[in-house]
Structure 1
Amino acid sequence: MDVDDAKKRFSRASWANVLGNAIKIVVEGAAGVTFGSVALVADAAHSVADLVASVVVLVWGSSSYDNPDDSHPHGHERIEPLTALFVGAVIVLLGLNLLYESTQGIIEGGTGVRFSYLLLGALAFALVDMYLVYWYTMRQNESLGSTALAALAADCLNDLYTTVAAIIGVLGVLIGYPILDSIAGGLVSLLVVYQGVDIGRENLDYLVGAAPTGAKRDEIRERIKSHPGVEGLHDLTVFYDGTVLEVEVHVEVDGEMTIREAHDLESELVDSLRAVKEVGDAHIHLDPSGLGEWKEAVEGDSL
């Protein structure tokens, strides 16, 4: 995909989240304040932080598509997981706040709320609003694979869950059990916290240069070994640089190769590794086979 097109898709998805959350805040907040519904006010407050996260993604996230420059010679890929990490932290804080509010509601017995069908109407609107934003974000992200947009989409799902909890609470008021509002909110808040922690943990790995799964490392090793000119390999290192993988490896080849033959072999290996899903770049050092220099016993792999 063209970089400009990718940046436009990212921007459109980010704007959809900004506008969707802003509209949800106005509708739910107005209804919640008017009828004293803690559930709706809490859900609207949840969306305020979601709005902040969406704006951050809109401003920061698109920078990941910028070309390398003098100040960032390796590109801007790490901006995206940094943005997603921020979203994850916001989700955790929202979940903890919702848990606190729910606990307070249980202690107080859910008093102070007046039932109105306008409450249900506002919640139904919020459900449709967030589902459309979620669907649009996921559709735009199919070809982008953005962790920041994935985090926003996950937050849209959290909004759906919290809105369902608010509906249960409002229905509880209707049938004379307002405490259901607080109980349902407490259960959903735990799910929100879990989702935020999961997003944060994944993107922290991207930022600190963690290694991929053993299966991905094995796939890369086998890809190198499958080349007919490779006689062995050692010192294989695979790590995340932002959301893409970097590969560093010493490859053992016939020491009698000409420089041009060695250059062509190296180019073929780099192109082959870049074709592996998630791999962004590969750095290969060619060694004459049999020397064994810098070779670690646990990494050595002769063919």
Structure 2
Amino acid sequence: MIEGEPLEASAGTQQAAFSRAAWVNVLGNTAKIVVEGAAGLAFGSFSLLADAAHSVADLVASVVVLVWGTSSYDEPDATHPHGHDRIEPLTALFVGAVIALLGLTLLYESTRGLLAGTEVTFSPILLGALAFAILDMYLVYRYTDAVNQTIGSTALEALAIDCLNDIYTSLAAVVGVLGVFFGVSALDAVAGGLVSLLVISQGVSIGRENVNYLVGAAPPPEKRESIASLLQNHPGVEGIHDLTVYYDGTVLEVEVHVEVDGEMPLRDAHDLETSLVDELRRQEDVGDAHVHLDPSGIGEWKDSVDT
């Protein structure tokens, strides 16, 4: 198996694994909120309360992924004849937006804390709560990432990245609490501000990737070139034109006109078309393909000049 390539699994198995991973994120964020929130309220820690507030929005995102993202595995129906694949990048886009907004909120709060100062009572319980939060999010990250190795879900990938963000923000809170212990409470706000910039950057990156999936953007040029090369190297193909490759959800759709011998028997032409479609669908990331056969050398109707 190529590293990073999802293992094959049935739709039912993938849906069940997706649901379990989403539930783990819901429960993990809930535990983090309770522990950090209680410790932050008890000792007036701005860092812990901000980190707990961060996880409240993460919890909302996890619930949305659980309820909404699972629908992407539903079979095509009368209202969605091409399936529900676009629901997954839409869910991931929501998660990316939440991450970016949280980063902006944390940046604002950190800046305000740096200018106005904070009043925190140091206690080892604060560090204990942060240690729990870091371990909690690390275990959730490892489980989510492991499940996603067999699924390749953009929504789970977004949640896994968000788990790492939680670890970074909790580490920033550790710096802040230690700053309080050593009498340098400004470290809390400075560390929080730096981490918030990373959170914003990752949220924007997730959003940009999934917008491409939703709007039917083209893949990188090398992907299109590899598909064109596959078609042109087939022994029954004399040329291709009007090749279009674009994202339909997280998978690629291929449309192409293939030029073949105009004297080819209809049954042979049918077998050739089937062979080409099957080969295209076997390519990584390709979900479906539509091949139109043209007799070579006759040109296209759209190339003709009206007289």
Match of 2:199 in 1: 192
Match of 1:300 in 2: none
The separation in 1 between residues aligned to 2:148 and 2:125, in whole angstroms, is 34
The separation in 1 between residues aligned to 2:246 and 2:291, in whole angstroms, is 14
The separation in 2 between residues aligned to 1:294 and 1:90, in whole angstroms, is 49
Select which of 249, 256, 260 maps to 1:253.
260
Shift of 1:295: 7.2
1:30 aligns with 2:34: no
The separation in 1 between residues aligned to 2:228 and 2:214, in whole angstroms, is 24
Shift of 1:55: 0.2
Match of 1:130 in 2: 137
The separation in 2 between residues aligned to 1:226 and 1:61, in whole angstroms, is 39
1:140 aligns with 2:147: yes
The separation in 1 between residues aligned to 2:298 and 2:36, in whole angstroms, is 71
The separation in 2 between residues aligned to 1:279 and 1:176, in whole angstroms, is 58
Write the mapping of 1:83-162 to structure 2, written as runs, cut at 5 A: 83-109=91-117, 111-162=118-169
Once the two structures are superposed, residues 5-64 of structure 1 have per-residue CA deviations (whole angstroms, 9 ceiling, x without a partner) of 110000000000000000000000000111000000000000000000000000010111
Write the letter of the residue equivalent to 2:185: P
Match of 1:49 in 2: 57
> Matched residues, percent identical?
71
Match of 1:14 in 2: 22
The separation in 2 between residues aligned to 1:295 and 1:127, in whole angstroms, is 61
Select which of 2, 13, 21 maps to 2:10.
2
Aligned-residue RMSD, C-alpha: 0.9
Instruction: Return 5+ residue gaps in structure 2 as ranges.
Output: 1-8
SS at match of 1:59: helix
SS at match of 1:265: helix
Output the TM-score relative to the length of structure 2.
0.95
Match of 2:5 in 1: none
Match of 1:282 in 2: 289
Write the letter of the residue equivalent to 1:32: G
Shift of 1:294: 4.9
Shift of 1:74: 0.3
1:234 aligns with 2:249: no
The separation in 2 between residues aligned to 1:234 and 1:122, in whole angstroms, is 62
Shift of 1:105: 0.6
Write the letter of the residue equivalent to 1:178: S
Match of 1:301 in 2: none
SS at match of 2:71: helix
Write the letter of the residue equivalent to 1:7: Q
- Runs of 4+ off more than 3 Å: none
The separation in 1 between residues aligned to 2:222 and 2:171, in whole angstroms, is 39
Match of 2:228 in 1: 221
